[in-house]
Amino acid sequence: MKALLAQPGFLAPSGTFGADLSYLLAVLFTVMFLFAWGLAKKGLGTQHHKLIFVSMVSMLIYFIGYYYARQLGVLTLEGKEGFGGPLDIYENIFLPTLTTHLVLVCLGLILSIYMIFQGFRACDKIEGNYILQSRELRSNPKIFKYTMAILGGVWAANQLILIFIRQKSFAASLAWAIIFGIIALVIYLEKFIEKSLPDGANRHRILGRVTMVIFALILVTSTLVYLMLYVIYPKI
């Protein structure tokens, strides 16, 4: 897969197939999410749920595979590989932009998963249509503990795979540790969210807007990173 992603691209002369495909899919997913958000605002809950579910599952499968193959873009931690511009531009503009993009991607993926489950929990299916219900929505303490235990186990297994099987660098392990740390933080924040936004319907609407803003920012940062890597400062 890594060899395929490294093939010449089709959008810019210096681009790669993986970078071009990633950028086009980022645009596609953002448009799909915005359209699904519009469906929700029109009260078309069932259509909204179906489109969001399909688009988010597709996005998760692609981005997990892509960023895993690319080692989560750890060039941000291991040097300026791929960037052909001046060092000051790399350190002061490119690196902060790429780091921000990766953080937003992590948050977007986490919120995507959370919003899918939270949306179904906050809805009732009435005459075949999913409709948000205004009621207090709290997580089960036992499920919370099991989730944290599973998350810790998956992180440990992933670290063992990275170190002993794939023999990846410390930077790759650190990148994955940061991602799992963000996931754990978001799960813990659920407790705070429950107190701040106890009403499930209101919570879904507010966090839905936050998620849409994050995906819009992902598109902006991915565009900036793509332009700097393959158009403005390609490595010759």
pLDDT in tens, 96-117: 998 898 888 878 877 887 888 8
Contact 151, 179 (CB under 8 A): no
Q: How confident is the model at residue 220 (pLDDT cuts 50, 70, 90)?
A: very high
Section 169-191 average pLDDT: 74
Highest average pLDDT, of 18-22, 113-117, 184-188, 222-226, comes from 222-226
| Residue, of 18 and 225, whose pLDDT is higher | 225
Closest Cα partner for 119 from 207, 216, 212?
207
Q: How many CA atoms lie within 13 A of 157 on its CB side?
A: 6
Tell me which of 91-95, 104-108, 169-173, 190-194 is least confident: 169-173
At a CB cut-off of 8 Å and minimum separation 6, what does 54 contact? none
Q: How confident is the model at residue 224 (pLDDT cuts 50, 70, 90)?
A: very high
Q: Does 50 score more than 60 pLDDT?
A: yes
Q: CA 176, CA 21: separation in Å to the nearest integer?
A: 23
Q: What is the DSSP letter of 198?
A: -
**Domain extents for the chain?**
12-136+198-232
Helix (H) or strand (E) holding 62: helix 45-69
Q: CA 80, CA 106: separation in Å to the nearest integer?
A: 22
- The beta-strand segments (E) located in the chain are 123-126, 129-132
Q: What is the DSSP letter of 131?
A: E
Section 181-196 average pLDDT: 78
DSSP string, 102-129: HHHHHHHHHHHHHHHHHHHHTEEEETTE
Question: What is the SS3 assignment for 66-99?
Answer: HHHHCHHHCHHHHCCCCECCCHHHHHHHHHHHHH
Q: Does 13 score more than 50 pLDDT?
A: yes
Four-CA torsion 203, 204, 209, 211, nearest 10 degrees: 110
Q: What is the DSSP letter of 6?
A: T
Q: What is the DSSP letter of 55?
A: H
* Tokens 């659920």 found at: 190
pTM of the model: 0.77
